[in-house]
Structure 1
């Protein structure tokens, strides 16, 4: 049993390393492409700080883009260990857009250790600042959750109002004269950030159907869908705001010498936590409901019996 479990982990490791490599490569390519497009647009069409560039739909697209930037900058502010690095990265995102977004994400993948890159949940290590143990700021955590709900609710309404106003005053956006060089560059920048959001949504959602549904909304409705999704996820948590970044599961910490970890079928059973079946694990649940804990213990017993048999 011990040997077969180790072989299972060994087979899974290359897959996860490949995923980390694939995502890192994806954002490198997107970042380089965005840099080339930016340089090409500056050379061919001049600088973007000209009044004639800011047509109604260019303004609406810019608002859409920067609302998505807010979501990214909130993550960066949380992710960075000090305010100086946070501020520098946020300024980079504001001025360089998708180039800085891709650079930051690639940097987070490069920081992964080999064990993290081969983890069953490698995106967890990219998204979260570590460690979270012994965090004494418990009184402020719920406050942050509420403030983020309000912030993204307001931003979503602002973008919806901007979209409706632009449609009424400037007509349909599906006209060739709207797509100036800088408008095209802005749209590409916008969708580079949508790719980053889509990776996160795919990681968060329990099924491909849900993920595809939300990604389509992100593509079609932009930051309105972004804000809706974030607020919806924030409404599902009461604890630290950073839990909105990860799946509805609390990460457990296993000792390095632990022989094998099995992810429970969390989403198959519709439960909002993860169980790792191993003696040397710290079991943590983000749901204090007694019924949930009882079901967890039943599932644990079933899995252990299957392993023994």
Structure 2
């Protein structure tokens, strides 16, 4: 008899909460008594996986582009003049307030969805690394977010 621990996992990314809670280790959607996916459900599950993969790639490319833009600004921009403009102009202050409100909202989303002490490791760098770090989090966690959002 094969023990439960040594059995290979065939869980799919789309129905992860169901597979985890059922303990059967099968790729099954809720309401599927046989454990076999119908053609329609199988195609839908594959589409979701493809869409999530494409979204992850888009997020990664956008994050890399944003990081490159930051490096370019640091190398060729006048940081002191930009800071003086931000703090001396009302719209600069609005921009900073908007930026840090976004950081706080990202931290709240991460804290709610992580549910463990790893949340601190994801939240602590946000004020220093900004939305580049938030993109990294979304890129890693998107499959789980999609799987948990499905009924």
Say whether 1:10 aligns with 2:33: no
Cα distance in 2 for residues equivalent to 1:102 and 1:68:
12
Alignment counterpart, residue 106 of structure 1, candidates 139, 144, 148: 139
The change in CA–CA distance for 1:49 and 1:59 in structure 2 (over 3 A counts) is same
The change in CA–CA distance for 1:78 and 1:47 in structure 2 (over 3 A counts) is same
Cα distance in 1 for residues equivalent to 2:139 and 2:126:
14
Say whether 1:32 aligns with 2:64: yes
Poorly superposed stretches of 4+, deviation over 3 Å: 46-51
Equivalent residue for 1:56?
90
User: Deviation digits for residues 248-297 of structure 1, max 9, x if unmatched?
Assistant: xxx4xxxxxxxxxxxxxxxxxxxxxxxxxxxxxxxxxxxxxxxxxxxxxx
The answer for unaligned runs of 5 or more in structure 2 is 1-33
Conservation of the 8 A alpha-carbon contact between 2:103 and 2:131: no
Equivalent residue for 2:116?
82
TM-score by length of 2: 0.64
Equivalent residue for 1:96?
129
The change in CA–CA distance for 1:53 and 1:64 in structure 2 (over 3 A counts) is same
Say whether 1:69 aligns with 2:99: no
Query: How many residues were matched structurally?
Result: 115
TM-score by length of 1: 0.33
Conservation of the 8 A alpha-carbon contact between 1:42 and 1:48: no
Cα distance in 1 for residues equivalent to 2:84 and 2:39:
63
Cα distance in 1 for residues equivalent to 2:83 and 2:64:
28
Q: CA deviation at 1:109?
A: 3.2
SS across alignment from 1:82: coil
Q: CA deviation at 1:79?
A: 2.1
Q: How does 1:124-273 map to 2 (within 5 A)?
A: 124-125=147-148, 251=151
Alignment counterpart, residue 146 of structure 2, candidates 123, 139, 144: 123
Cα distance in 2 for residues equivalent to 1:94 and 1:108:
20
SS across alignment from 1:32: helix
Cα distance in 2 for residues equivalent to 1:11 and 1:67:
40
User: Deviation digits for residues 154-210 of structure 1, max 9, x if unmatched?
Assistant: xxxxxxxxxxxxxxxxxxxxxxxxxxxxxxxxxxxxxxxxxxxxxxxxxxxxxxxxx
RMSD: 2.7
Cα distance in 2 for residues equivalent to 1:15 and 1:81:
28
The change in CA–CA distance for 1:48 and 1:24 in structure 2 (over 3 A counts) is farther
